[in-house]
Amino acid sequence: MRRPTLLLASLLIAILGLMAAKSWLVQAPPLRATNQATEFDATRAKARLAVILGDQRARPADTAADDKVRGHIVDALREMGLNPILRDQFASNELYKQRGVSCARVRNVIATLGPPDGKAVLLNAHYDSTPVGPGAGDDGVGVATLLDIASLLKDRPLKRPVILLFNEGEELGLVGAGAFLADPLSRNVDSIVNLEARGVRGPVNMFETSRPNAAPIGVFKAAVRNPVANSLSTDVYRLLPNYTDVNSFAERNWLTLNLAPIGNETRYHSAGDDLAALDPATLQHMGDQTLALAQSLANGAPKTGGGERFFMDIAGKTLVVLPLALGVALLVILLLAAVVIALRRGQLVRGVAIAFGTIFASGILAWIALAVIGAFRHGMFWRAEPVWTHLATYACVLVAAVLLIVTIGRQLTTSQLRASCWLVSLLSAR
């Protein structure tokens, strides 16, 4: 093998390895060794969750296992000096983003903090699980977070009420959330922080807001120290066939922020969603964000209106927020500049064809690969082996790009190809 070919192959393998390892590079902030009395304590929260879950049986709504978990939640709240409210209701709710209605007997647990009157902040998590796993992540992480926050906020002076809702029946079709809408306490709510999970490790993503998003993003940016969020992911989420309790609450037009970890999705809705898999650093990230948001919202009425915003975090350290009009103007300027540069460097049509061809050809290759693997191994194998699945997908992109470059792009210079690729990237961003 000639030296240039060997170097190119080594470079492609190195790029492929870095792309496949990116999920390991995105982590929650490290677990604190010590906590101040006013800080969320992930170790304490996880220990409390271990008591709540007990023998870690699956706990679908309206089962003996779920009754037991609910009893532990009520006991934990009472030990803090709170007086939890238990609502026993038969409720029905529509199945969002699909046809159907779900009905069940649900028992929501509610605890209130702060003053008795005024517009309230709702902190919501569900305590039921799917029939196949203990749900330490989905949504034990939310339950543990709310309990630790209750212990921190119960004696603090708050300007507005805070309602902690531990609802039952989310996995059946958001039945507990639907039941809360009939609760008198729901009439005073004007903002909600919803806690969910699709994984057991990694950073906690803020993946959904109410619309227009200027007000919730303003609260999020001001309150959260280690934000992980971007407007692209929130836009994509709206197109997915997934839903959370937020869908039930949407009719009230509350200011909304939806949080969830998504790392190691292989544990999601499975027997592996247990306490051993739940990363304390992830629990701390969720707790820190939720506590900061709860304090911010409970000590001042949220602003309304303000239009739409573009936003993205930078390495989980800060959140960049731009007005929609400014973002569009910057995109148009960059797009025009890319067109001018690409035209000056020449070979625009061929360069753009390579860039777009890579997108379509890699998609076809990935589909063929999935179809072949699926013929031998049924089920969601891509979820069980996420690293290898990502590796194969990225390999399809590199193979398609290299084949197109060495064929129709052989006469292009690096600068010509670079300008065309940037132009296609900006067109895709639109």
Domain C-terminal end among 291, 316, 341: 316
pLDDT at 393: 83
Q: What is the CATH number of the domain that holds 105?
A: 3.40.630.10
Residues 83-121: b if buried by 16+ CB within 10 A, e if exposed? ebbebebebebeebeeeeebebebbbbbbbbbeeeeebb
d(CA 253, CA 271): 36
**Is 170 among the catalytic positions?**
yes
Answer yes or no: are the C-beta atoms of 115 and 16 closer than 8 Å: no
Domain C-terminal end among 294, 316, 338: 316
Do 290 and 335 belong to one domain?
no
Give the pLDDT band (50/70/90) at residue 5: low
Minimal CA–CA distance to 260: which of 128, 141, 150? 141
pLDDT at 265: 85
Do 256 and 224 belong to one domain?
yes
Q: How far is CA 220 from CA 150, 228, 229, 296, in A?
A: 20, 10, 10, 9
Do 59 and 144 belong to one domain?
yes
d(CA 9, CA 395): 12
Indicate if the pLDDT at residue 115 is higher than 90.
yes
d(CA 250, CA 274): 30
Do 109 and 12 belong to one domain?
no
Do 51 and 169 belong to one domain?
yes
Q: Hey, is 209 helix, strand or coil?
A: strand
Most confident range (mean pLDDT) of 325-334, 382-391, 420-429 is 325-334
Domain C-terminal end among 292, 316, 340: 316
* pLDDT per position as a tens digit, 183-242: 999 999 999 999 999 999 999 999 999 999 999 999 999 999 999 999 988 988 988 888
d(CA 249, CA 363): 37
CA dihedral 405, 409, 411, 416 (to 10 degrees): -100
* pLDDT per position as a tens digit, 156-192: 999 999 999 999 999 999 999 999 999 999 999 999 9
Do 181 and 141 belong to one domain?
yes
- Beta strands 162-167 and 309-314 are unpaired
Q: Name residues whose C-beta falls within 8 Å of residue 401's C-beta, 6 or more positions apart in sequence.
A: 354, 358, 362
The total number of structural domains that make up the chain: 2
Do 80 and 161 belong to one domain?
yes
Average pLDDT score, the chain: 90
Do 8 and 46 belong to one domain?
no
Tokens for 294, please give them.
């709860």
Do 73 and 218 belong to one domain?
yes
pLDDT at 36: 95
Mean pLDDT of 100-108: 89
Integer-rounded Cα radius of gyration of the chain: 24
Give the pLDDT band (50/70/90) at residue 53: very high
Do 425 and 341 belong to one domain?
yes
Do 204 and 233 belong to one domain?
yes
Q: Which of 168, 170, 196, 208 is catalytic?
A: 170
For 147, what's the count of Cα atoms within 13 Å in the CB-facing half-sphere?
Answer: 31
Do 231 and 341 belong to one domain?
no
* pLDDT per position as a tens digit, 35-49: 999 999 999 999 999
Where in the sequence is the domain holding 8, given as residue range(s)?
3-22+325-429
